[in-house]
Amino acid sequence: MKRLLVVLFLLFGLNSYSQSLSSPLENIETDKMLHFAGSYIITDFSYHFFEKRTTKKKAILYSVLISIGVGVTKEIIDKNWGNGAENKDLVADGLGISFAVIAINF
């Protein structure tokens, strides 16, 4: 239930951010927020998939590796076929992964 609330908060928070005129997060690009939310969700959901099949430690490791792989693959695609890769996207991915691991251990 706690995970569902966090996911809903992230999704509705991003939606309301795009509608607001002034926000404390004004300087953060929407793309970075999507990277953060996407990495958080991938890490959290894949953890819950693996926790039923292996130990907690391995489940966290596998979910982090999957999320890193998705983030790096997306940046490689952006570099080769998009508008170019940004290091800040990977930082946002890392923060999303970190927050997911904190939530899992909390």
* Tally of structural domains, the chain: 1
* Length of the chain measured in residues: 106
Q: What is the reported pTM?
A: 0.75
Domain contains 24: no
Instruction: Return the H-helix or E-strand segment holding 2.
Output: helix 2-19
Domain contains 22: no
Domain contains 20: no
Residue 12 pLDDT exceeds 60: no
Phi and psi torsions of 48, nearest 5°: -65, -30
Angle, nearest 10°, between helix axes 56-81 and 30-51?
A: 140
Mean pLDDT of the chain: 84
Full residue range of the structural domain in which residue 99 is found:
2-15+31-105
Domain contains 48: yes
What confidence tens digit (pLDDT) does each residue in 22-70 have?
Answer: 555 566 788 899 999 999 999 999 999 999 999 999 999 999 999 999 9
Domain contains 21: no
Residue that wins the pLDDT comparison between 75 and 20: 75
CA separation for the pair 86, 7 (Å, rounded): 25
Domain contains 67: yes
Domain contains 76: yes
Domain contains 25: no
